Amino acid sequence: MTDTILRTTNLGKKYRNRWAAQNINLEVHQGDVFGFLGPNGAGKSTTIRMILSLIKPTDGSVELFGHDLFKEREKALFSVGGIVEKPDFYLYLSAYRNMQIAGSMTLGRTPDKKNILETLETVGLIDRAFDRVKTYSHGMKQRLGIAQALLTNPKLVMLDEPTNGLDPQGMKEVRELITRLTKERGITVFLSSHLLNEVEQVATRMAIINKGEMVVQGSTAELLKTNANKILLNVEPKKKAFGLLKKMKQVAEPSLNDKGITARIEQKDLPGVVKILVKNNCKMFTIEPKHSLEEYFLSIT
């Protein structure tokens, strides 16, 4: 078996006359933090539900760890854990007791105490293990949901919008947890989100879906190279600087906007471009790179 642990081929789901997802061809490798990106309503949750066998696809196939999901469902899902949308708990019970119940339904037996406590420690909840879940913050509940997904020691964890509704601190905690899972436990993480900045910080590979269809897939670093030379110049006076930039051979695609001037300029040419602007009495305040995931996403969708 290759290092590809998840492969979908022409996967699609149709509701009456509308395709919620169509021709989804994903390839997730062992050790990836795989970002599955798209706007709300793009078809991310539908795709994850098909991969986890929670809904039946209209078209296509899913292969997990070399097993066809629809022919060998138990073998295919044996090493997979996941959360779809929002995790639910018995709020009047402790995190420990919730883990016992979830484990008994998944494993067919009550998981041992050591396994539960080790998993709660992994997600940073060991100090609150015996507190009622109703006293937990939203971020803590999200981490408890991830703990439930980890209870069976999966090799692949599917997380659908795990930072949805979290404050910046909660997002940071979940982001750090995802990094630990891959580095310390060797778990492959499939991360669905519409929060591009969050995914950019952790994803090694990614796919973008829009209006139910795949737009692009590949290494995060390679895909972001598309805008590698794109920069934002905060310079005054803008119109004068824009006129000068349009005449320079080193400058491509100059564009004037409220924030300044965006353009493509090779790094080796940038000092010379700035020198010409300053020589012509233009004041340069800042130069910002524009090769963020958000920029890339907007450019292709």
Dist CA 251 CA 264 (whole Å): 6
Q: How confident is residue 1, by pLDDT bands cut at 50, 70 and 90?
A: very low
CB 193 within 8 A of CB 161: yes
Q: List the one residue out of 289, 290, 283, 287 whose CA is nearest residue 235.
A: 283
Torsional class of 16: left (φ above 0), alpha (ψ -120 to 50), beta (otherwise): left
Cα within 13 Å of Cα(10), Cβ side: 3
The tokens of 54 are what? 């929670």
Length of the chain in terms of residues written:
301
Dist CA 192 CA 21 (whole Å): 14
Q: Determine the Cα angle at 187 with ends 186 and 192, to 5°.
A: 145
Q: Where are the beta strands (DSSP E) in 95-247?
A: 156-160, 188-193, 205-210, 213-219, 230-236
Residues 132-143 have pLDDT tens digits of: 999 998 889 989
Dist CA 92 CA 113 (whole Å): 20
Dist CA 166 CA 162 (whole Å): 9
Sequence spans of domains, the chain: 4-220, 228-300
**Can you give the pTM of this predicted structure?**
0.79
Q: How confident is residue 287, by pLDDT bands cut at 50, 70 and 90?
A: confident
Alpha carbon separation from 262 to 119, 173, 219, 251, 290 (Å, rounded): 47, 34, 25, 10, 8
Residues 145-184 have pLDDT tens digits of: 999 988 888 999 999 888 877 888 888 888 888 888 898 8
Fold (CATH) for 228-300: Alpha-Beta Plaits (3.30.70)
Query: Which residues are within 8 A (CB) of 100 and not within 5 positions of it... i.e. 6 or more apart?
Result: 110, 111, 116
Q: List the one residue out of 186, 116, 121, 197 whose CA is nearest residue 151.
A: 116
Fold (CATH) for 4-220: Rossmann fold (3.40.50)
Residues 221-249 have pLDDT tens digits of: 787 776 667 888 899 999 999 999 999 99
